[in-house]
Amino acid sequence: MSVEWICPNGHCLWRWNSQPVLKFGMQAGDFLLSTNILLSGNNYTKVALLFKFMNMRMDNPNTHFTIQDSYCVDPIKTFWEEKRSEAFSRLQGDGRNDSPGHSAQCSYTTMELDSKEIVYVATIDKRQTNWNFNIMEKEGFIQTVDKLTQDLKVVEFCTDAHVQIGALLMPDKGTYKDLRIHHSLDMWHGAKNLSKKISTTLWIGVLHHVCNNHTWETGSCQNDHLEDTQGKQRIERDSKSHKALVDIILNKRWQKDVHKYLRFRSTAHLVSCQIHILTYASKLQAFTPRVYDSRVVLAALDYNFHRERPTYRTAEGRAGLGQKIGPGIFGPGGPHPP
């Protein structure tokens, strides 16, 4: 609210403003509202709708996005570069696509294996890959390795079973063969894929089971207790089940990649971070590349700030529903992870 006392001759004798006024006549409240919409992971449309329901006015979209682009995006990136750690050599990385659409963007997030700290975030716009959606994660990985290996030696990199990334890290003919990076694969995905193949060999038993026939030429049902099935027949050599099992064990692709699971790595914490990014960069909202990048960086900063906070516990000492205690990234009352 602005109040002015003007005499009959048009002279302003006194002026009062409910907000401090910044340079160029900008209202401090408008500035704080626009900056904190971004810093809290919110978006202009939702906040504007809230103000409309409360019959309150707020700055228009052009003012909001001008403030955001002029005063927020670059300082966020600068703050990230100052705060991120570089004392790491064993990493894990994963990509997250916001959508498969015309203006899709991908954030490739890299975490240190031991400390679980986010150390680098590469944001890829579809225009950087000649509009090829399928190679965006690969491009994010390339940018990450090229950046991080400039100043340090990366000895291990864990990813999911991404064929294009696996080809880059092949020790004999991959693009990064000279870096001698040990490529590990996420154990959970490997176990899941192997169990699917093994389960397929047991699936044929359903045809006998539904007919109340629990023993047949190549095996038997698994529905009995273990101690009651000690005398069941072994799989016969050259039977259908045996041949199916041979196909799994001797699969050339599996044999080629099985050594990548020997260190028993998991990207579970990285998946948790990818979910946290949705707090700042929802897939339901479109962002310009610069703003999308800054929102992903904000999510990484928030994640790093909270990663060592103790799990919330009730008065009885029981663990809460994944909540954390302590202040947010911008002090008491700041953003907290869901």
pLDDT digits (tens, 9 = 90+) for 294-312: 999 999 999 999 888 888 8
Q: Which domains does the chain show, CATH number per domain?
A: 2-71 (no CATH), 79-186+265-307 (3.30.420.10), 188-261 (no CATH)
Q: For residue 19, what pLDDT is reported?
A: 87
C-alpha angle 208/212/215, rounded to 5°? 55
Mean predicted confidence (pLDDT) in 232-249: 70
Secondary structure class of 124 (helix, strand, coil) = strand
Average pLDDT over residues 235-259: 74
User: What mean pLDDT comes out for the span 260-265?
Assistant: 80
How many residues would you count in the chain? 338
Mean pLDDT across 268-274: 85
Q: Give the 3-state secondary structure of residue 159.
A: strand
Asked if residue 69 has pLDDT above 60, the reply is yes
Which of 27, 26, 60, 28 has its CA nearest to residue 44? Answer: 60
Say if residue 127's pLDDT is above 60. yes
Q: Is the whole model's pTM more than 0.85, yes or no?
A: no
The per-residue pLDDT for range 75-103, each reduced to its tens digit, is 999 999 888 766 678 999 998 887 655 55
DSSP, residue by residue, 180-242: T-EEEEBHHHHHHHHHHHHHHHHHTHHHHHTTT--EETTEE-S-S-GGG-TTPPPPPTTSHHH
